[in-house]
Amino acid sequence: MSKVKYYYDSETLSYRKIEKKKGRKLKIFVLSLLGMFLSGFLLLLIYINLPSVQTPKELSLQRELNNMELQFELLNKKMNQAQAVLAEVEDRDNNLYRVYFESNPIPEEQRKAGFGGINRYKDLEGFDNSKLIINATRNLDILTKQIVVQSRSLDEIAKLAEKKEKLLAAIPAIQPVKNEDLTRMASGYGYRTDPFTKARKFHYGMDFTAPRGTPVYATGDGVISRADNTATGYGNHIVIDHGYGYESLYGHLYKYNVRAGQKVQRGDIIGFVGSTGRSEAPHCHYEVFKDGERINPINFYYGSLTAEEFAEILTKAQQENQSLD
Ligand SMILES: [Zn+2]
């Protein structure tokens, strides 16, 4: 039961009941509700418009984000540096190594192929830092691809180098008789007087005069294709097949210590100077063949002679004298 309140009316000199107005109560209620809404709305406005007001957790997250952006930028810089170094390696690869081993340079498009067309970074889009992250990812992808191509190129070059090394070891590149064992370089390649007929005749080899029994060396790696005395004129002689179209012949030997089919290396002793066959005095008649044609052996001594020694042997070999055959 609600309390009933009275007041004293001096006009009528009596107590009268206080009548409460219902409308006033409702008005107070609506006003206070409006007030609550307004203050709530104001607080929300303040909260939205003041982002600088952050919780400690937000502050720490923001710091972490800033640090990550910085690290990404550093990463991009480092990748650019790596790219510059790789570009130099590629340049050397194209213009030096591949040229030296007679291999075509790898075009730029092939080294960086596969990065146009479709957008492979769609998943990384739509974030504040998308550009930074896509940039770093793309740089790394291109770098990886370039390294793979470069690595394959070096594999190829390693194989070519091995082949070239074998070729260089095979080419007849030294004298068959050592310079210090040599009495003289008797006769070179070209027209010479035949020691027996005294006619002017083409001499297809070089004659190295040395005492009987002086060692004769294989001038390049290869396989002995013959070691016998059945060919007219050459007496005891040896032929080495060096591969790659090269052969060398050693004639008029006193004796030999190899047989057909045997593998030899440059510098191995294969026989000894003699005067067997059509020969006037002890010497080693030496010939070099390329693809079946006899060529001037003097162009092949780069493996054992100094520039002075080569000049000397060149002068002697060019004199048109009498060969020993
Ligand atoms: Zn000769």
pLDDT in tens, 240-294: 999 999 999 999 999 999 999 999 999 999 999 999 999 999 999 999 999 999 9
Ligand 1 centroid – CA 186 distance (Å): 9
Distance in Å, CA 10 to ligand 1 centroid: 165
Q: Are 113 and 173 in contact (CB under 8 A)?
A: no
End-to-end CA distance of the chain: 152
Distance 245 CA to ligand 1 centre (A): 22
Burial of 271 (0-12, 13-18, 19+ CB in 10 A): buried
| Helix ranges, 16-175 (H) | 22-49, 56-92, 98-100, 108-111, 130-170
Separation of CA 208 and ligand 1 centre (Å): 8
Q: Which residues face 286 on adjacent strands?
A: 206, 250
Residue with tokens 């002068």: 315
What confidence tier does 53 reach under pLDDT thresholds 50, 70, 90?
low
pLDDT digits (tens, 9 = 90+) for 119-158: 788 888 888 888 888 888 888 888 998 999 999 999 999 9
Query: What's the CA-to-centroid distance between 166 and ligand 1, angstroms?
Result: 29
Count other C-beta atoms under 10 Å from residue 278's C-beta: 17
Q: For 224, what's the count of Cα atoms within 13 Å in the CB-facing half-sphere?
A: 21
Contact between 128 and 65 (Cβ < 8 Å): no
Distance (angstroms) between ligand 1 centre and the Cα of 305 equals 21
Provide the percentage of residues in the chain whose pLDDT is more than 70: 95
Residue type, 314: L
Joined together, the tokens standing for residue 180 give 């210090």
Between CA 19 and CA 79 the distance in angstroms is 87
> Residue 298 Cα, ligand 1 centroid: separation in angstroms?
13
Identify residues whose C-beta is under 5 A from ligand 1, the ion.
205, 207, 285, 325
Reported as a single tens digit per residue, the pLDDT across 188-203 is: 899 998 988 889 999 9
CB of 274 closer than 8 Å to CB of 255 = yes
Q: How far apart are CA 231 and CA 285, in angstroms?
A: 14
